[in-house]
Structure 1
Amino acid sequence: MHPASQPVSRRERNKQAKLDRITAAARELFAVHGIDDVTTQQIAEKADIGAGTLFLYAKSKGELLLLVQNSAYADALAKGTAGAAEVSAPLDAVMAIVRPVVECNRTQVHNGRTYLREMVFGDPNEPHHHAALTLAAGTEAAIADVLQRDGRRSPETAATLARTVSAIMFLTMAASTNTSRSTDDLILDIRDQVAAILPA
């Protein structure tokens, strides 16, 4: 039997079920109360596990936020990449990728800003932090792909522009001066900045 076709063990199913409960509990509590007002004990209780078990899946509250947000970010990136495939103009295609990522991050503004801080300053050896960095790299790769579709940019130039777009997007979302602005305002701001760096 091929390894990929072997049934998942009961132990692995139980492990995944616990992870799903932890993710659901953290997502709900963070959404309702914000990360600062939620304790790991509350998450453990809501997930119906012991606090010690919780730390086998995430070593800190920041890692729990990464776990929750990574799932939403992955969905947003998939949506944006699919949307970009339907758009021919480079700026519009870039913004098709950017918009759902920004909307995802702004679902709960403080949590979104904390997620970005954890992504930048967290421990890259932790699995959920590593996954967040992988998603950020995937965003840049998707943007680079659309920027070289017309054949006018080399892969190197497209990658450099994509990193710049990523920096614009993340700094705009993270800036404390933008916390009270609407998501649509931020997206328009990002669009103006990206338009300024994309060659005509």
Structure 2
Amino acid sequence: MAVASQPIGRRERNKQAKLDRIVAAARELFADHGVDEVTTQQIADKADIGAGTLFLYAKSKGELLLLVQNASYAAALNKGQAAAKSISDTLEAVMAIIRPVVECNRTQVENSRTYLREMVFGDHEEPHHHDALRLSAQTEEAIAEVLGRDKQIQSANAGTLAHIISAVMFLSMAISINAAKTVNELLQELKIQIRVLLQG
């Protein structure tokens, strides 16, 4: 006999509504002005909540950025994984995973570079930072799964290769010298690097 799911209580609905307003406000302000130019008070005002309430959901502006970007990153990764399933060529399947992540990163380059710095150097005990690291690990796992389908790649090496590919991708998106590059330019460079790595 199936157990009926419990309806969400008013308190939980209110919490979710506040979180939705915070995410929407932060996303809009970060997109319009850049994360460095936005204050937490502006986000709280736009979300129509007190600053103290805001910090119950994210303890810093960096955590707010992680909260906003994690959702976009997760959607991009899901899109890439779905595309890779129907591609038999290993390099093209890896690129199918990477492409939407890079496109997501290039939507607002400086915010995305800040996001990557927060992912690496942020407080690993904060929940949104933890979620970002989990997404990074899921990216590696998705790439490893594709590499594992290739008979030319030893299964024991798939995880290590995926780790290297993921690191190269994140570094390419984060470094200053690549900030002005287009999605296609960045993807072409990554494709060349990954091809060399897979041929080695």
Structure 2 length-normalised TM? 0.96
The aligned residue for residue 30 of structure 2 is 30
Q: 1: CA distance between counterparts of 2:175 and 2:150? A: 33
Q: CA deviation at 1:152?
A: 3.5
Q: CA deviation at 1:8?
A: 1.0
Following superposition of structure 1 onto structure 2, how do residues 10-89 of structure 1 map, counting pairs within 5 Å? 10-89=10-89
Q: CA deviation at 1:3?
A: 7.1
Q: CA deviation at 1:181?
A: 1.3
Structure 1 length-normalised TM? 0.96
Cα distance per residue 1:158-185 (max 9 Å; x no partner): 0000001001100100110011111110
The aligned residue for residue 138 of structure 2 is 138
Q: CA deviation at 1:9?
A: 1.1
**Are 1:104 and 2:104 an aligned pair?**
yes
Q: 2: CA distance between counterparts of 1:61 and 1:155? A: 41
The aligned residue for residue 194 of structure 1 is 194
Runs of at least 5 residues in structure 1 that lack an aligned partner in the other structure: none
User: Which aligned runs of 4 or more in structure 1 are off by greater than 4 angstroms?
Assistant: 1-4
Q: 1: CA distance between counterparts of 2:151 and 2:127? A: 36
Cα distance per residue 1:34-54 (max 9 Å; x no partner): 001100000000000000000
Q: Number of paired residues?
A: 200
Q: Which amino acid aligns with 2:15?
A: K
Query: What's the % identity of the aligned pairs?
Result: 67
The aligned residue for residue 172 of structure 1 is 172
Q: Which amino acid aligns with 2:25?
A: A
Q: Is 79-88 or 3-12 further displaced after alignment?
A: 3-12
Q: 2: CA distance between counterparts of 1:116 and 1:37? A: 18
Q: Which amino acid aligns with 1:54?
A: L
Q: CA deviation at 1:4?
A: 7.2
Q: Is 4-13 or 174-183 further displaced after alignment?
A: 4-13
The aligned residue for residue 95 of structure 2 is 95
Cα pair distance change 1:172/1:56, threshold 3 Å: same
Cα pair distance change 1:194/1:128, threshold 3 Å: same
Equivalent position SS for 1:198: helix
Q: 2: CA distance between counterparts of 1:114 and 1:173? A: 11
